[in-house]
Each structure stands twice: as C-alpha cells, then as structure tokens.
Amino acid sequence: MSKSKFLDLIEEQRNLKIKEKFKGTFLDYLNLIEETPEVCDLAHRRLYKSIVEKGSNKIEESDPRYSSFFEKENVEIFNYFSDVFFGNEKVISRFMRYLKSASSKGEESRQVLLLMGPVGAGKSALVDHIKRSMESKPIYAIDGCPINEEPLHLLPRGLRSKFEDMLGIRIEGDLCPVCRHRLLEEYGGKYEEMPVVEKSISIRSRTGIAVVPPVDANTQDTSMLIGVQDISKLDLYSEDDPRTLTLNGAFNKGNRGIVEFVEVFKNEIEFLHTIITATQEKAVPSPGSNSMIYFDGVILSHCNEAEWNRFKSEHTNEAILDRIVKIEVPYSLEVDQEVKIYQKMIGMSDFKNIHIAPHTLQIAAMFAIMSRMEESQKCDLLTKLKIYNGEEVIERGRVKKIDVKDLREEFEREGMTGISTRFIMKSIDAALSDSENETITPISMMKALISQVNEQITDLHFRKRCLDIIKKIVRDEYLRILENEIAKAFISAYEEQAQSIFESYLDNAEAFTTNSTVRDRITKEERRPDDRFMKAIEGAIGITGSSKDGFRSDVTAYMFAKMRKGEKVDYTTYKPLKREIESYLISSVKDIARIVTKSKTRDDDQRKKHSEMMRVLIEDYGYNEHSAEEVITYASNNIWRDS
C-alpha cells in the first residue's frame, strides 16, 4: 500500500518536472514571451513577485501591537516571512519597499541593499530566507551560457525597439563574450536558432545565487568576483578569445539572482569597486581583455554597526556609500516576539523534546530585552518592557498612561545593542546540560544566565548591569508570578471561591453600613458583621483605620446601584475589590501553601492539598513533575521563608 503511494509521489514529481521545463530555440522563447511576458522579468522583479505571491496582511487595529509596536501605522505583513520571523515586520516592510521600487527599475535597482545590525539580530537568516524565495521562480537562459544570461540579449540593437513594442517588454543588456563567440562560430550568426532552456535558481548548485564571504586583504583577488582567464588555454587561443575565460566569479554565478556579501566591509575597498560598477553600469569587468559583462541581480550585503561606522567615516568611500540602501536590523524589544524566536530556534534544534517549564522563555526574553533597553525618565525598566510588549499597565497612583511613542523617541538607537538571541540560546544549552531530567525551569534558566554573563561579558559595566537585571528585576518579577500561580493552584476552583468571598464580603459590608445583622448562608443564624474577615480583605490592599468605613459603604452603594439596574455583579465588577479579593485569597493560602510545601511529613489533609496542587500545576499550567517540584521548593525557600 505505502510502496505504491511512494511510487505515485515519485512519478507525479517526475512528470511535473518533465512538463514544466522548457527547452527550445530562441524563436520558441520569443513565442513564450508573447504568451507570458513575465518569463523575462529581471531579478529584482522576480524576487519581489515571488514574495508578494505568498500573500500579505495588515495588522488588525484591535491587536495590541498595532499601537505598541506599529505605532498605528498600517504596515504590510508578508506571509512569506511571518511564519519564521518575529518582531521585525518593520525591517521586512522596508526591505519590500526597496524591492518594489527596484522591481520597477527605479534608482533602487542600481543600489546595494545593506542590512546593518548587531550580532544575532537575524541578518543572515533573513538573507537566507530571501534567497530561498528566489529559488521558487525559474529563469530562461541561453543553453550553455556560463552566466545563464537572458536570451533576449541575442537580439541585435537595431531590432530591439520593434520587439519591445510587439511584446510589451523592455530589453536591456548585451550578449556575453562566450555566447557571442558561440553564436558566430557555431550558429553562423543565426541567433534565432540558439538554444534556450528553463533553469531553476538554486542555492546548492550556485545557480543564480552566489555568496561572497569576507576575505583577508592578502588573498583578496577579484577573480572571486568576476572569474579568471585560464592561462593554460593561452597556448591554444589568442588572448582575447572568450574560450580562455572561466566565468565562475560571484557576479557570474549570481547573475539573474542574488549576490550576497557577508560582512561586506571587512573587505578591502578595492575589492568593493566591482560592486560599484555592477550597480552603476549593471556590468562587471571581464577577466582578461574582453568587454564588460552585463549583470542583472540583487546585491544583498550585511554588516554590524561598528564596521559600518568605520567605513562611513572614510572619505574615500563616498562613491560606495552613495549606492547603498541601508536598513537597520535591531533586536526585538517585545517579550512575546522574542519568545517566539526562541521557540523557533529550539524547534529547529535537538532540544525539541525537552521540557520547558512555564515562564522559562519569558524570563530569558525579559532579561535579553531589558539589556537592550535604555533607562527612561518616564518609568522603570519593567514597566517599559510591559508597555513595549503591548500590555496595559496601570501603575499605582498614576492616572496618566505612558505613551509608547514618547518612550521610543527618547532613545533612537534602542535595540541596536545588548544581549543577543544567540547568547540566550547558549544559556538554554547550558541550563539543559546541567539538568538531570531534560527539564529547564525559570530557576535553572536564571542560574545559567548569571553564569553565562559572568563568563562571556567582559565589559565590567555591562556585566554588572546584566547581573542587576537578572538578580533584581527579573527575579522579583518571577517570584511575583510564581507566588500567584502557586496560590491559584492551591485554590482549586479559584473563581468560585473568589465569588463566594465576594458575596460574603458584600453581605458583611452591607450589614456593617446599615448597622444590621448578617444571616449565615449555611446555618441561617443571624450574627453581627464579621469585622475581622472584612479587615483581612481590606488589609490586602492597604485599606486600614477609618478609611475602611467609607470603603465599605462605597462598595455597598456601588454594587446595589448596579443590581437595581438589573446588571449582573460578580467579584470582578469593582476593580479595587477584585484586587483585594485576589490578594486575600492568595494571602490566605500562603500559610497553607507554605506549610504544605515546606513540611517533610504531611498529614492526610495536607497530602491531599499538596497532590491537588501538583495536579493543577501539571494538568492545567503545563509543568511536569520535576519542574513543579523545583518551583515549589524555590517558592518555599524564597517567598515563604520563615522569618
């Protein structure tokens, strides 16, 4: 059964390949252009279309990121990127704007695109993904041409405008010396008979994609870019004979597609002059004494900020600078997006089956992002982090909301420095190799982060800042999250309990305000309002002394007014009360949580409570036994310390 299924698939794929690949003469190719003119699209346009075809969206205005990250701009989000890249939609949108204008042959098509940003910000990954998109559209080339050139170059200049009108296209570029030679020698000048083939662009086979790594000055040789003249062939052919050429440089191999310059400014400036001619004249020199060779391709490059600044400060580099479209690629400043990056990287690694306890990646992301942020005058680092993450922040005693735009404008370079994604991945590795049971938790994560900071960060000032962030801000925030989580896990049916406390408080507060008695819901006995109970709740958010009287009557009045209007009221209706009830619930279980989690020997009741809490942590919150044990121990040692 499955064998035949495999065979079907194989056959299907084979047929597809046979059917799709075009092979014919130049005349046939002209026919094809008449039917589908886009077969002769230039590189920028082919790339642009291949990405746009996958679709795009705009961010919904109801999405919190619309205000916090996109600053209410209708940024286009391209599907081709959105599954694999997170938090850099603005970078991608800038890139797409460049590509769009380049694809309509604007000045941009004569510019080099430069992605500039800190290490591990995703520059290489972005370029790789772009290159892969280029692979999705075939090209048509003169069969046997070493640079896969566009067959339209065969048309003599004198005929071009007629063909342009007839086919509704534009033709640019001249025949390469190798094809010119073949045309004359093998085809007697009958260009309509020259063979044309359809080819796939391929990163692996270096067809239409070339990568230029940085090379040191001594070994730098332009043959890497434009190919060489084969000296051994000079015995057979004259010096200007194209048969002596080996066109295997980056601009030859990358013709029709993409030439990528990795860490472009690590190269000598002389080396880079070929880039100028390639963009300016859309041609590169030929090795030996032949004429220039037409080049059609997207030039992508990347570098870090230090290299960029050094390069920019040199006067003599102006000619190149003028031909660069620079796009900054900063780190993410949004916790949620940063976490998605880690999840993606873990998914691609050997670690996909490890257990990662709740909040672990958030903790790491919080640290990374705070290390990238500048201290604001307007709020503390943690608040800023939450605002950037699109969370509603209501600060105690603060009425005016902080505008995210104001925060961003304070520091323009934010996101260009700090802890990299790679640093965090290394810390995750370290945490994991220390773990005995394939489990990492926020606690082992913080430990690993601290030791990585100590080992890897040599700048003492930055090291101290990082340690402060982890040991103070991140740790405190985690303890807060953990305390709430454990307490909630203790209170099974949390909401029900909250609701019953709410009803009971309301009964008592009403009786207190109206100077009457409360009827016990179970025993039906009439008794005086329970002052201790009310005080415990009020105390949870600091209402004490005489202010309690006012609070009680306020709550009663507010609730009964609502009920009279027929509105449904529950414990969440009145925000201050909701917070009180939650704090009360949490503080009321703290004791039991502490006792149960700390004691070595538990009585039956405690055992039951403990196992119920473990069940909630595991089944509802996503812990496993190891991680649940670990966070509980941590909580009892750090939150519920005996004092």
Ligand X SMILES: Nc1ncnc2c1ncn2[C@@H]1O[C@H](COP(=O)(O)OP(=O)(O)OP(=O)(O)O)[C@@H](O)[C@H]1O
Binding residues for ligand X, per CB under 6 A?
85-88, 117, 119-125, 304, 332, 341, 344-345, 421-422
Residue 235 beta carbon to ligand X: minimum distance, rounded to whole angstroms: 45
Q: Which two tokens stand for residue 137?
A: 């559209």
Which residue, judged by CB position, is nearest to Mg ion in the bound state? 124
Q: How far is CA 6 from the centre of its chain?
A: 36
| Whole-number Å distance between alpha carbons of 226 and 293 | 9
Which does residue 257 touch among Mg ion, ligand X, none (CB within 5 to 8 A, set by kind)?
A: none
Return the number of the residue (85 or 502) whose C-beta is nearest ligand X. Answer: 85
DSSP codes, 138-176? -EEEETT-TT---GGGGS-HHHHHHHHHHHT--------
State in angstroms the smallest separation of the CB of 465 from ligand X: 22
Return d(Cα 191, Cα 268) in angstroms, integer: 41
Residue 217's identity, in one-letter code, is A
Min dist. Cβ of residue 327 to Mg ion (A): 15
Our CB check for ligand X shows the closer of 304 and 427 to be 304
Nearer to ligand X, 32 or 341 (CB): 341
Residue 119 interaction partner, one of Mg ion, ligand X, none, beta carbon < 5-8 Å per kind:
ligand X
Q: How near is the Cβ of 84 to Mg ion at its closest, in Å?
A: 16
422 binds, among ligand X, Mg ion, none (CB under 5 to 8 A by kind): ligand X
Instruction: Residue 304: name its binding partner from ligand X, Mg ion, none (Cβ under 5 to 8 Å by kind).
Output: ligand X
**Residue 124 Cβ vs Mg ion, minimum distance, rounded to whole Å:** 3
Q: For ligand X, which is the closer residue by CB, 338 or 483? A: 338
Please state the separation of Cα 210 from the chain's center in Å.
25
Do β-strands 298-303 and 112-116 pair in parallel, antiparallel, or remain unpaired? parallel
Q: What share of the chain is helix, strand, coil (3-state, %, to 5)?
A: 55, 10, 35
Cβ 121 to Mg ion shortest distance, Å: 9
Nearest distance from residue 406's CB to ligand X, in Å?
25
Q: What is the DSSP string of 351-376?
A: TTTSEE-TTHHHHHHHHHHHHHSPPP
Residue 234 contacts which entry, Mg ion, ligand X, none (Cβ below 5-8 A, type-dependent): none
Say which amino acid occupies 575. K
Give the separation between CA 75 and CA 87, rounded to whole angstroms.
12
133 and 80 in contact (C-beta within 8 Å)?
yes
CB 387 within 8 Å of CB 379: yes
Q: Which residues lie across from 24 on neighbouring strands?
A: 196
**Residue with smaller CB distance to ligand X, 123 or 323:** 123
Q: Which of Mg ion, ligand X, none has residue 120 at its interface (CB below 5 to 8 Å by kind)? A: ligand X
- By a kind-dependent CB cut-off of 5 to 8 A, residue 341 interacts, out of ligand X, Mg ion, none, with ligand X
- In whole angstroms, how close is the CB of 329 to ligand X at the nearest point? 6
Q: Among residues 125 and 354, whose Cβ is nearest to ligand X?
A: 125
| Residue 619 token pair | 């089944």
Return the residue nearest ligand X (CB atom): 122
Q: Please say whether the beta carbons of 581 and 508 come within 8 A.
A: no
CA torsion sign for 263, 265, 269, 272 is positive
- Closest separation between CB of residue 450 and ligand X, Å? 22
The smaller minimum CB distance to Mg ion, of residues 64 and 213, is found at 213
Whether 532 contacts 514, CB under 8 Å: no
Which residues of this protein are in contact with Mg ion, per CB under 5 A? 124
Q: Considering the complex, state which of residue 349 and residue 547 has its C-beta at the smaller distance from ligand X.
A: 349
- CB closer to ligand X out of 76 and 174: 76
- What is the CA angle 510-514-519, rounded to 5? 55
State how far the Cα of 140 lies from the Cα of 196, in Å rounded to an integer.
Answer: 7
Which of Mg ion, ligand X, none has residue 519 at its interface (CB below 5 to 8 Å by kind)?
Answer: none
202 binds, among ligand X, Mg ion, none (CB under 5 to 8 A by kind): none
* Cβ proximity of 227 and 295 under 8 Å: no
